[in-house]
Amino acid sequence: MRSIIAAIVVTLFATTAHGQLLKCVGKDGRVEYAAQCPAGTKELATGIRSSPAPVAPAGGAAATKSQSLAERDAEFRKRQAEKAAAEAKDAKKSAEEAQRRRACDDARAHLKNLQSGNRVVKVDPKTGERVFLEDAQYAGETADARRMVDANCK
């Protein structure tokens, strides 16, 4: 007996679940939305249904359905490889940009240090001793620093 009642209740719920939403306009212009319009209102269909309308398969959709699992898998792997290649390209480009910015900042700092008149010390590669730049060397170092700024800060 319980199973019969449960079946009837489920059937009643299922029929109301597929109802249509109606736009009901009253005499005073008041708009209501309901499954059934009250008496004295004008009924307008909204086109909204609780269950979606079946989609008509287009030419491309029919072709997609006929593809085998292997073909879809191959297409997926191809898209995945293209995406990975694009991400690698973007990562390489951003790394190069960051390296170029660091080189630009370093070159500007070196040029600013040379132009400020501070004493600059270099390490002699032969002896390993610290050697202060002389006035003649400042001009060459400043020119090199300007070239580095021009090359790295575009």
Residue 152 within any structural domain of the chain? yes
Label residue 35 by pLDDT band (50, 70, 90).
confident
19 φ/ψ angles, rounded to the nearest 5 degrees: -75, 170
Q: How far is residue 65's CA from residue 58's CA, in Å, rounded to a whole number?
A: 11
Tens digits of residue pLDDT in 99-134 = 999 999 999 998 898 888 788 888 888 898 998 888
Joined together, the tokens standing for residue 115 give 């132009």
Label residue 55 by pLDDT band (50, 70, 90).
low
Residue 146 within any structural domain of the chain? yes
Is residue 36 within 8 Å of 22, Cβ to Cβ?
A: yes
Name beta bridge partners: 31. 25
Residue 96 within any structural domain of the chain? yes
Average pLDDT score over residue span 50-70: 64
Q: How far is residue 100's CA from residue 154's CA, in Å, rounded to a whole number?
A: 9
Total domains in the fold of the chain: 2
Residue 138 within any structural domain of the chain? yes
Residue 147 within any structural domain of the chain? yes
SS3 sequence, 59-91?
A: HHHHHHHHCCHHHHHHHHHHHHHHHHHHHHHHH
Joined together, the tokens standing for residue 20 give 């249509």
Residue 102 within any structural domain of the chain? yes
Domain containing 41 equals 20-49
